[in-house]
Structure 1
């Protein structure tokens, strides 16, 4: 792999591969291929001061990320916080889809909500699958679209061997990564969002009257360990990304495919003990460029759907899997519901009938499109199809930017409460009009 971490760099002395803008094809993995790299060991230790690889064992081998996936969900959450699109107190509404995710989970019911900060804390400690899905729907409009955003961000960071299919890491044969790519992400989280990185050192937090403890057993066990994330499914084995900062030295280490949680933790401890003394106390400059200019706009334009009308509310879940819980798997992961609490970015409002909807009001969204004319057509068609349901509603479009491309949400306002919006959406669904209720 070479002596330097293969990432995108700005203003450093390292040589790296140029960013390739590519269109991702769907990856199909047969059942025997799943077993082929299930629980295979791979690892990497990187000096986080200069990018030098201190240890590597099959670090470019393809692996399932399991809950390490949530590191990217959190990266995009931190990005949204940093840009003011959301705040720590923004409500994260749990759709039927998010509420139905298998454990480990926070356990919020359909229609309930928590703050962004609570969702973050539940992910870094409990590795809550429902919180990850709800955040993905908040940030992407639907979890499927959010997965495209995750993959596009991976390319921006230089994670060229990673594809995301969901926000939580539950089993999906088309979702894969490498130890090398996870090291890039681990370094990027600290370098790009140091103001939020401290969340990863959270060992427990109070959720109501309940104390939720974390899965990362190396926190407090090894001096200098400050995160980052555990992961487990049957197909992946036991995974761990760990950051260490002590004595002026910084490491990011990745272990994937452990046979047990204890074996994985012990191997990580050995790697830290062996390679921390070899790490440099000097070095500077970001190792991973942010690429905020969004050079993946081209791929985003190709991959993003024309509209994000939601899919059915319910889907069968046969079994469960995550981190250090019982060994179970998901046999059926069907279409994701696009219930979403909207970005605070929705400032460009184009009223089609009456006045625009005030911030905080409940609205009903039926679709979104890269063309405003198409978004308006959706609204006009829905009005003609359900005139009684929408008699007192006002139609409007909301522009938002995604990956450098402007999209338009097609919405109806004029509902006095969440209950009224949900009731209207239910009536629209009876008319075969896909929709979801969301707070403006």
Structure 2
């Protein structure tokens, strides 16, 4: 038997063995018309399951709330605690005592799903993960996410940390309508997070499905492969929530199938039903009292999201706010400087253009029609896309870099993961040695390839990331 045939046989054998021993997470799904909140399809949608990193949608929701309320800004400096820095991958690679602006933590949590960034955000807002988790849960209850309890800001498996496909679809809808100015974060294929450029964990679906523009992936062994995704075609937008996928590819295929189903079903009633007014359930006094740390408007808009008719678009005429004045000023400057040609970058906000007197990155983005059950935000604060900092490249010291695969594993699982990965990327990992590093808790390990140059490690990790294998490059001793 030649070498290639033996390699293929070993790969198939190891994948089969690994798959047979893996825990099969329960499947659940829900398809929602984002405009009305109407459920178009559901399966096990109210079964409480592990949400994994879908949790970070609520973490980001609360951070956006703090910025809008003026208690934080995109430039707020956050000092990284030992606890935040110690979180397992996926992570940004933050160091204890390091100071980093809030905007970079937001990007790392939204795009890379970095656990250390999520912990740092929680501590910056509430002082501790425990306090932040209590606020997450009370906010979820106020939104109508009645089956959700949060125990941490990142979604790593924890007793009692549970949600449902229905609740996560509701949360995805709130993110889209309550904070439209930040929603572009979830469709970026990559972004500058200061420490390094990070790549979107959902970029395969974003590239493959027409109209897909978010929102959040999640994976742990207990949860399986989870995803809350949104896509727009014409005036229609669908939100799909899937729990318990068996692999990235299988999950993405199922989400695409469900989004197709949603788009097929929406016109059948959206064109025949007349718009209606949604009645929100009044929040209980106990609920309002328990949510004293949250933005005041959350209590006012409490109650479950229910079905409403297709909403009318907000009028675009007769601007009377300060934002409208800024917009008109920026348009005038842009037209004077470059004629009628405007740049197409939707990230840089109008406020930054006016402040910098530079129209080069200006683009007009019309507001979305909002369902009648969601309040119009009074102010808009946008995370500015900064210029990429000049970062000194690591010294190319041969043999002193490590490719660390994501997650913590038992010894047997870590050994199988190392062998499978080595067979998949034999050329990229040539010259490295497989290594098991203790992961803190007794009996748990990190899977590593040691003894690589900086360039070889970066190349190997990039190729593994293209296979949807979580990894990061760390410098050895």
Quote the Cα distance in structure 2 between the aligned partners of 1:320 and 1:287. 44
Q: CA deviation at 1:207?
A: 3.5
C-alpha distance 292-332 of structure 1, shift in aligned 2 (>3 A):
farther
Contact map agreement 1:51 1:287 (CA 8 A) in 2:
no
Residue in structure 2 matched with residue 245 of structure 1 by the alignment:
232
Quote the Cα distance in structure 2 between the aligned partners of 1:102 and 1:109. 13
* Partner residue of 2:407 out of 317, 320, 340: 320
C-alpha distance 171-290 of structure 1, shift in aligned 2 (>3 A):
farther
Q: Which runs of 5 or more residues in structure 1 are unaligned?
A: 1-34, 303-318, 334-440
Q: Is the partner of 1:235 in helix, strand or coil?
A: coil
Contact map agreement 2:239 2:259 (CA 8 A) in 1:
no
Q: Is the partner of 1:43 in helix, strand or coil?
A: strand
1:205 maps onto 2:196 in alignment? no
Residue in structure 2 matched with residue 82 of structure 1 by the alignment:
68
Q: CA deviation at 1:299?
A: 3.2
Contact map agreement 1:200 1:228 (CA 8 A) in 2:
yes
Q: CA deviation at 1:120?
A: 1.1
Residue in structure 1 matched with residue 33 of structure 2 by the alignment:
47
Give the structure-1-normalised TM-score. Answer: 0.58
Residues 58-112 of structure 1: CA deviation (Å, up to 9, x unaligned): 1001110100000000010111111111111111221000000011101110011
Q: CA deviation at 1:290?
A: 12
Quote the Cα distance in structure 2 between the aligned partners of 1:246 and 1:134. 36
* Partner residue of 2:253 out of 258, 266, 273: 266
Give the structure-2-normalised TM-score. Answer: 0.54
Bigger helix share: 2
Larger radius of gyration: 2
How do residues 357-376 of structure 1 correspond to structure 2 at under 5 angstroms?
A: none
Residues 417-437 of structure 1: CA deviation (Å, up to 9, x unaligned): xxxxxxxxxxxxxxxxxxxxx
Q: CA deviation at 1:320?
A: 2.9
* Partner residue of 1:65 out of 51, 70, 84: 51
Quote the Cα distance in structure 1 between the aligned partners of 2:282 and 2:194. 39
Backbone CA RMSD of aligned residues? 3.4
Q: Work out the number of aligned pairs and report it.
A: 281
Contact map agreement 2:104 2:194 (CA 8 A) in 1:
no
How do residues 35-434 of structure 1 correspond to structure 2 at under 5 angstroms?
A: 39-208=25-194, 210-216=196-202, 217-280=204-267, 296-300=287-291, 320=407
Q: Is the partner of 1:219 in helix, strand or coil?
A: helix
Q: CA deviation at 1:188?
A: 0.5
Residue in structure 1 matched with residue 456 of structure 2 by the alignment:
none
Q: Is the partner of 2:181 in helix, strand or coil?
A: helix
Residues 314-373 of structure 1: CA deviation (Å, up to 9, x unaligned): xxxxx9369xx979998959xxxxxxxxxxxxxxxxxxxxxxxxxxxxxxxxxxxxxxxx
Higher relative contact order (CA 8 A, sep 6+): 1
C-alpha distance 238-300 of structure 1, shift in aligned 2 (>3 A):
same
Quote the Cα distance in structure 2 between the aligned partners of 1:47 and 1:256. 18
Quote the Cα distance in structure 1 between the aligned partners of 2:291 and 2:252. 38
Contact map agreement 1:187 1:288 (CA 8 A) in 2:
no
Residue in structure 2 matched with residue 338 of structure 1 by the alignment:
none
Q: Which runs of 5 or more residues in structure 2 are unaligned?
A: 1-20, 294-405, 419-435, 443-477
Q: CA deviation at 1:286?
A: 9.8
Q: Is the partner of 2:207 in helix, strand or coil?
A: coil
Contact map agreement 1:191 1:286 (CA 8 A) in 2:
no
Quote the Cα distance in structure 2 between the aligned partners of 1:294 and 1:202. 40
Q: Is the partner of 1:270 in helix, strand or coil?
A: helix
Contact map agreement 1:47 1:53 (CA 8 A) in 2:
yes
**Is the deviation greater in 209-218 or in 88-97?**
209-218
